[in-house]
């Protein structure tokens, strides 16, 4: 049994579907954990998983990095989504030609406490910021993110998100590792 510590039920459902494909059992720990302010998602998840201090637990943090905004909101995506939301990002992007962006997801898995062994898995999907919000599926910045090679936002097509998302990529890397290491 493995554990995903997250307060976000949407993230847990995405992970559970992936784990089931690999024949792995996953439970949710719905507790908050301390998120430090840091320059990288890797720093955030490594510090948080150390503080959690439970083996066979993983956490995931993600961010939207917009090229023309020098990577903003990046590691501050959750706070930005709660404060200015999609509308605020679209206002910042008004009349901006370069709409390139990427979602990055980083997973930290605490394999052992003694010796301390943390495994990191990263997933990324490139895309663009839409001109307006579209769709009702997903959460966060899904209504304004169009993955490269597609013409719909993640919020317009949840199956598209499940197929190409940053979180799918990072959690699949973790699941493949766990299947091989613990299978």
Q: Which of 43, 61, 95, 142 is catalytic?
A: 61
Q: Annotated catalytic, 61?
A: yes
Residues 6 or more apart in contact with residue 7 via CB below 8 angstroms: 30, 31, 32
Check if the beta carbon of residue 173 is closer than 8 Å to that of residue 123: yes
The pair of structure tokens assigned to 162 is: 């499940």
Phi first, then psi: what are they for 37, rounded to 5°? -85, 120
b/e per residue, 141-156, with b = 16+ CB within 10 A?
A: bbbbbbbeeeeebbbb
Rounded Cα gap, residues 33 and 59, in angstroms:
9
Residue positions annotated with a catalytic role = 61
């Amino acid at each position: 049994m493995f554990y995903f510590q997250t307060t976000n039920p949407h993230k847990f459902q995405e992970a559970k579907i992936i784990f089931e494909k690999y024949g792995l059992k996953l439970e949710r720990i719905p507790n908050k954990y301390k998120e430090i302010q840091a320059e990288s998602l890797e720093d955030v998840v490594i510090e948080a998983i150390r503080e959690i201090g439970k083996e066979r637990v993983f956490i995931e943090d993600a961010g939207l990095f917009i090229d023309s905004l020098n990577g903003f909101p990046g590691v501050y995506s959750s706070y930005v989504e709660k404060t200015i939301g999609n509308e605020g990002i679209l206002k910042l992007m008004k009349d901006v030609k370069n709409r390139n962006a990427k979602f990055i997801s980083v997973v930290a898995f605490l394999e052992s406490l003694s010796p301390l062994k943390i495994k990191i898995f990263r997933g990324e999907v490139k895309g663009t910021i839409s001109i307006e919000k579209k769709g009702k599926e997903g959460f966060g910045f899904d209504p304004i993110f169009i993955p490269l090679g597609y013409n719909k936002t993640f919020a317009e097509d949840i199956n598209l998100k499940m197929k190409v998302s940053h979180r799918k990529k990072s959690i699949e890397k973790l699941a493949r590792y766990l299947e091989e290491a613990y299978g």
